[in-house]
């Protein structure tokens, strides 16, 4: 430490993260610590793939929590000397990004169609160049030690190559196919979306009962529906085969009102006899259930609602109306014809687009699908066998249940921004060709080719993130050194969307699981317990928290908040982190400014020295174990408690006289040693403040980011010293409490004598007693301490205090007697438990006898 550093340490009584963080981060980057060489193998190396945030994204609390956890483990392993890679990058986020740029265009009164596909995509790239690295910069603010030199993007050149290779191989295996099928049509993004991008919401609709006249009869068949406008596309009415009411109608026909179409009455088990009249109108073109039934019975599929959400020509007089307008018109027309039997309010759940928020319109359209059964099978097995461990374990069951029910994945999207599906059509001969690069001409007839217009679901490319970012399909040094990655932390909402798909593609392509451990973390809710969300306005901005409290404070706070269950965001925990950073700074000032010039080393002289070294090593062992098992909350709280309570409140107060003395080298060596280990232990969770303080430490040779992570030294654990010192601490606390309650002025020193075992030397000083004191009669007895009367004492308060203690003791004695008087307890409880109770009872009895 030079003179300027010493001066800074002397003058700065408060740790200021805003002054420190950017400077420290720049030093790390300059050191190149986050950019490991691609050497060694995945067993000895450590690697993590960040869940790639959307390019359109800004850092939210979920990123911050996830980042804090991953960084803690990456930094810990880097400090252990492992070649550690945290791969970072962004996701092109098809729908979201296209929407942002389309919104920009709309401001100029334009749509993407005005520009055309090529110019529009060009425009999105420009947008990406300008704003796409925002979130990457925000990860730096958090202190995330990602390899910023290996940043990837799901649409960069190498990544596209990987996506096309995957598509081609799945196509060749017959897993990827094109089909006219019922999909979730999102009128908002004008595209099909997958089942996982749909969320169901409770909605209040009306349930209409409509009479369908039976052909050549006076009978009517009444059906119930919430979507009367789809009746225009009805191609059957179904009843349950066991429904006696309708047995004779099956095989007959009804006449569809308004349309006049003659449609069959069919029997199908799907129909619930209890619901409504037990007759179900079948609309294969606009309802997923009806679609299934329709295919089973070979029914005609009619579409009356188009992809623009308007009624098609098939809807006859209703053509051109929106679906909502058509609903009203159809209801009116039915009423006019006397076919509307009832209309009642009805609450049910309805699919909405997770992307645009609009109500899903189920439609039949020509889309690309990927069959999942074959891919899922091995991905189920590796989780069953715990080759991929999911923590907490209840998510394993959730994963397996979903995987076992997996259905084909609709992978095509009617967007322009994304991986354009690598399929070419020959209009001349009808050939369909999948290829990794654009073929010149049709292989069969030599005709012109035209590429598929649709792009792939963004999650199709995310699914290969762990190996595509490392250079797959090429055999790169990165892939050899860092795949499989070491672990993954994630929010449970993307367990299916992302995690399951990575496991499937990892097994199918590189042939190995992408990670061994999946830790599913809790969700941090808003302060009021609602979801944090932009649309609700309940989001809390992590960057603002960093501005106010510092990155270390936020990281500590989030880790302390995290748990296996969802928790509300706690400002108090972030403040606790800020206070800890400040306390670290100030305790370090005390040590660094007063320590003698010695080598840091454990050099215990007193029992207190042995005690703090023992607690230090215990804490290192425990915190390390908790970090390794993803128990971040307990890890940081234990580190906090050791540092604040044991080290600062007690040890530093105990050794101050020796430290100020400057004579005793041993205590300086021990303190510098403890400080070094505490800083290293805390570095993975609070990297900035620990690095900053380390820059003043005499043992510093390089950055703490690459300093050795402490390994607990069991030989320092000393239970006898712990018992002695903790006994002294307990006595000190009782003496202080007695003073306070006896009304003794804070600054006064009280006379007392010791009757019994001499307590550790610090007790007298820290409780402000003088044990060889001169005074008159003892007026109180606290452990071995006999407090002597003096004019500092308030006789009435002392008496009151004494009586209070007696009462406490009487209660304790009574409790002990009752417990030991219970024959069952004495007979059946373990002997050591009974012994312990006996000992306690005896002690309480003795103390009570002394006080009487």
Q: How far is the CB of 512 from RNA (least distance, A)?
A: 28
Q: How far is the CB of 619 from RNA (least distance, A)?
A: 15
**Interface residues for RNA in 393-452 (CB under 7 A)?**
394, 397-398, 402, 405
Residue 824 in contact with RNA, rule: CB under 7 A: yes
**Interface residues for RNA in 679-698 (CB under 7 A)?**
none
Q: How far is the CB of 385 from RNA (least distance, A)?
A: 21
Cα–Cα distance between 763 and 742 in angstroms, integer?
A: 18
The answer to whether the CB of 779 falls within 8 A of the CB of 797 is no
Q: How far is the CB of 17 from RNA (least distance, A)?
A: 9
Residue 637 in contact with RNA, rule: CB under 7 A: yes
The answer to whether the CB of 474 falls within 8 A of the CB of 504 is no
Which listed residue (78, 123, 227, 355) binds RNA by CB under 7 A? 227
Residue 652 in contact with RNA, rule: CB under 7 A: yes
Cα 218-222-223 angle, rounded to 5 deg: 150
Cα–Cα distance between 386 and 518 in angstroms, integer?
A: 11
- Cα dihedral 661, 662, 663, 665, rounded to 10, equals 130
Nearer to RNA, 315 or 491 (CB): 491
- Strand-pairing partners, residue 206, are 345
For the four alpha carbons of 186, 191, 195 and 197, in that order, the dihedral sign comes to negative
Which listed residue (359, 583, 765, 845) binds RNA by CB under 7 A? 583
Segment lying near RNA (by CB under 7 A), choices 366-374, 420-428, 609-617, 652-660: 652-660
Which listed residue (341, 371, 840, 845) binds RNA by CB under 7 A? 840
How far lies 606's CA from each of 620, 625, 760, in Å? 22, 29, 10
**Interface residues for RNA in 510-539 (CB under 7 A)?**
525, 529, 531
Segment lying near RNA (by CB under 7 A), choices 147-155, 480-488, 644-652, 687-695: 644-652
- Per DSSP (E only), the strands in 522-570 are 524-525, 567-568
Q: How far is the CB of 275 from RNA (least distance, A)?
A: 3
**Interface residues for RNA in 727-756 (CB under 7 A)?**
732-733, 736-737, 740-741, 746-747
Nearer to RNA, 10 or 386 (CB): 10
Take residue 436 and report the two structure tokens written for it: 């990794």
Q: How far is the CB of 234 from RNA (least distance, A)?
A: 11
**Interface residues for RNA in 371-400 (CB under 7 A)?**
394, 397-398
Q: How far is the CB of 583 from RNA (least distance, A)?
A: 5
Residue 581 in contact with RNA, rule: CB under 7 A: yes
Residue 589 in contact with RNA, rule: CB under 7 A: yes
> At 77, is the secondary structure helix, strand, or coil?
helix
Which listed residue (105, 621, 648, 820) binds RNA by CB under 7 A? 648
Nearer to RNA, 23 or 804 (CB): 804
Cα–Cα distance between 342 and 754 in angstroms, integer?
A: 93
How far lies 617's CA from each of 45, 592, 635, 666, 711, in Å? 26, 21, 14, 18, 8
Which listed residue (348, 441, 450, 810) binds RNA by CB under 7 A? 348
Take residue 606 and report the two structure tokens written for it: 């007193």
- Report H helices in 647-708: 653-661, 665-682, 687-694
How far lies 37's CA from each of 45, 46, 165, 371, in Å? 11, 12, 27, 39
Number of residues engaging RNA in binding (CB under 7 A):
95
Please compute Rg for the chain using Cα positions: 36
Segment lying near RNA (by CB under 7 A), choices 336-344, 510-518, 615-623, 643-651: 643-651
**Residue 399, phi then psi, degrees to nearest 5:** -60, -50
Strand 778-782's sheet: what is its strand order? 769-770, 750-754, 785-788, 778-782
Q: How far is the CB of 128 from RNA (least distance, A)?
A: 29
Take residue 18 and report the two structure tokens written for it: 């805003």
Nearer to RNA, 270 or 328 (CB): 270
Segment lying near RNA (by CB under 7 A), choices 47-55, 257-265, 564-572, 615-623: 564-572
Q: 151-171: b or e for each residue (b if 16 or more CB lie within 10 Å)?
A: ebbbbeebbbbbbbbbbbbbb
Nearer to RNA, 237 or 503 (CB): 237
Take residue 693 and report the two structure tokens written for it: 């303080």
Which listed residue (125, 148, 177, 496) binds RNA by CB under 7 A? 496
Residue 298 in contact with RNA, rule: CB under 7 A: no
The answer to whether the CB of 706 falls within 8 A of the CB of 33 is yes
Residue 656 in contact with RNA, rule: CB under 7 A: yes
Cβ neighbors of 590 (< 8 A, separation 6 or more) are: 652, 659
Which listed residue (45, 225, 312, 690) binds RNA by CB under 7 A? 225
Segment lying near RNA (by CB under 7 A), choices 64-72, 437-445, 611-619, 631-639: 631-639
Nearer to RNA, 534 or 828 (CB): 828
Which listed residue (190, 252, 634, 838) binds RNA by CB under 7 A? 634
**Interface residues for RNA in 154-213 (CB under 7 A)?**
195-196, 199-200
**Interface residues for RNA in 263-282 (CB under 7 A)?**
270-276, 278-281
Residue 111 Rama label (left phi>0; alpha psi -120 to 50; beta): beta
DSSP H or E stretch at residue 150 = strand 147-153
């Amino acid at each position: 430490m030079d003179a300027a550093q010493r001066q800074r340490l002397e003058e700065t009584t408060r740790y200021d993260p805003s002054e420190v963080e950017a400077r420290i981060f720049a030093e790390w980057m300059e050191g190149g610590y986050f950019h490991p060489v691609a050497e060694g193998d995945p067993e000895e190396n450590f690697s993590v793939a960040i869940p790639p945030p959307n390019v359109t994204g800004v850092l939210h609390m979920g990123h911050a929590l996830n980042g804090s956890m991953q960084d803690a483990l990456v930094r810990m392993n880097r400090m252990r000397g492992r070649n550690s890679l945290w791969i970072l990058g962004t996701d092109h986020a098809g729908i979201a990004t296209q929407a942002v740029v389309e919104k920009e265009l709309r401001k100029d009164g334009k749509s993407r169609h005005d520009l055309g596909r090529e110019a529009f995509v060009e425009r999105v790239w420009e947008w990406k160049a300008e704003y796409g690295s925002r979130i990457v910069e925000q990860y730096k603010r958090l202190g995330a030690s990602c390899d910023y030199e290996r940043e990837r993007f799901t649409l960069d050149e190498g990544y596209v190559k990987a996506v096309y290779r995957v598509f081609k191989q799945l196509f060749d295996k017959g897993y990827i196919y094109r089909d006219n099928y019922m999909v979730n049509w999102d009128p908002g993004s004008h595209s099909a979306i997958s089942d996982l991008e749909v969320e169901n919401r409770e909605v209040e609709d009306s349930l209409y009962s409509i009479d369908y006249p039976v052909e050549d009869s006076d009978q009517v068949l009444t059906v119930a529906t919430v979507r009367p406008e789809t009746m225009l596309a009805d191609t059957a009415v179904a009843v349950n085969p066991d429904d006696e009411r309708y047995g004779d109608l099956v095989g007959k026909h009804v006449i569809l009102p308004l349309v006049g179409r003659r449609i069959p009455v069919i029997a199908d088990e799907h129909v619930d006899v209890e619901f409504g009249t037990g007759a179900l109108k079948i609309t294969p073109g606009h309802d997923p259930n009806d679609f299934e039934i329709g295919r089973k019975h070979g029914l005609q599929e009619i579409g009356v609602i188009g992809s623009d959400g308007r009624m098609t020509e098939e809807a006859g007089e209703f053509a051109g109306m929106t679906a909502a307008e058509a609903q009203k018109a159809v209801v009116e027309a039915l009423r006019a014809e006397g076919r509307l039997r009832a209309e009642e309010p009805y609450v049910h759940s309805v699919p909405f687009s997770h992307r645009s928020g609009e109500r899903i319109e189920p439609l039949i359209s020509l889309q690309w699908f990927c069959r999942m059964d074959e891919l899922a099978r091995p991905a189920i097995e590796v989780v069953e066998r715990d080759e991929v461990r999911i923590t907490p374990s209840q998510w394993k069951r959730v994963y397996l249940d979903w995987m076992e029910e997996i259905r084909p994945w609709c992978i095509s999207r009617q967007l322009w921004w994304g991986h354009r599906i690598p399929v070419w059509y020959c209009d001349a001969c009808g050939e369909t060709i999948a290829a990794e690069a654009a073929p010149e001409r049709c292989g069969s007839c030599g005709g012109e080719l035209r590429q598929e217009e649709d792009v792939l679901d963004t999650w199709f490319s995310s699914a290969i993130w762990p190996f595509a970012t490392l250079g797959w399909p090429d055999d790169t040094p990165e892939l050899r050194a860092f795949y499989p990655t070491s672990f993954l932390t994630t929010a449970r909402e993307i367990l299916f969307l992302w995690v399951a798909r990575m496991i499937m593609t990892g097994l199918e392509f590189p042939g190995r699981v992408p990670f061994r451990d999946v830790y599913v973390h809790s969700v941090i809710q808003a302060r009021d317990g609602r979801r944090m969300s932009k649309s609700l306005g309940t989001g809390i901005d992590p960057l603002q928290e960093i501005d106010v409290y510092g990155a270390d404070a936020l990281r500590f706070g989030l880790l302390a908040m995290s748990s296996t269950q969802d928790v509300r965001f706690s400002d108090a925990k972030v403040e606790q982190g800020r206070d800890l950073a400040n306390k670290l700074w100030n305790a370090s000032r005390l040590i660094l400014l007063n320590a003698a010039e010695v080598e840091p080393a454990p050099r215990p002289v007193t029992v207190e020295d042995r005690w703090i070294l023992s607690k230090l090593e215990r804490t290192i062992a425990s915190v390390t174990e908790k970090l390794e098992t993803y128990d971040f909350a307990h890890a940081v709280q234990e580190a906090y408690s050791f540092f604040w309570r044991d080290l600062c409140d007690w040890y530093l107060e105990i050794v101050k006289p020796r430290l100020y003395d400057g004579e005793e080298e041993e205590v300086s060596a021990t303190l510098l040693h403890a400080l070094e280990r505490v800083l290293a232990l805390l570095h993975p969770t609070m990297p900035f403040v620990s690095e900053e303080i380390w820059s003043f430490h005499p043992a510093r040779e390089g950055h703490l980011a690459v300093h050795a992570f402490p390994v607990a030294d069991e030989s320092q654990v000393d239970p006898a010293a712990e018992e002695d010192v903790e006994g002294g601490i307990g006595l000190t606390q009782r003496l202080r409490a007695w003073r306070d309650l006896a009304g003794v002025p804070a600054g006064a020193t009280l006379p007392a004598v010791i009757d019994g075992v001499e307590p550790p030397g610090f007790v007298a000083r820290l409780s402000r007693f003088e044990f060889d004191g001169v005074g008159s009669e003892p007026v109180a007895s606290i452990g071995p301490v006999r407090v002597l009367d003096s004019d500092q004492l308030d006789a009435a308060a002392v008496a009151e205090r004494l009586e209070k203690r007696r009462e406490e003791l009487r209660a304790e004695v009574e409790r002990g007697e009752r417990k030991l008087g219970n024959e069952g307890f004495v007979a059946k409880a373990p002997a050591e438990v009974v012994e312990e109770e006996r000992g306690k009872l005896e002690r309480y009895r003795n103390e009570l006898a002394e006080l009487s």
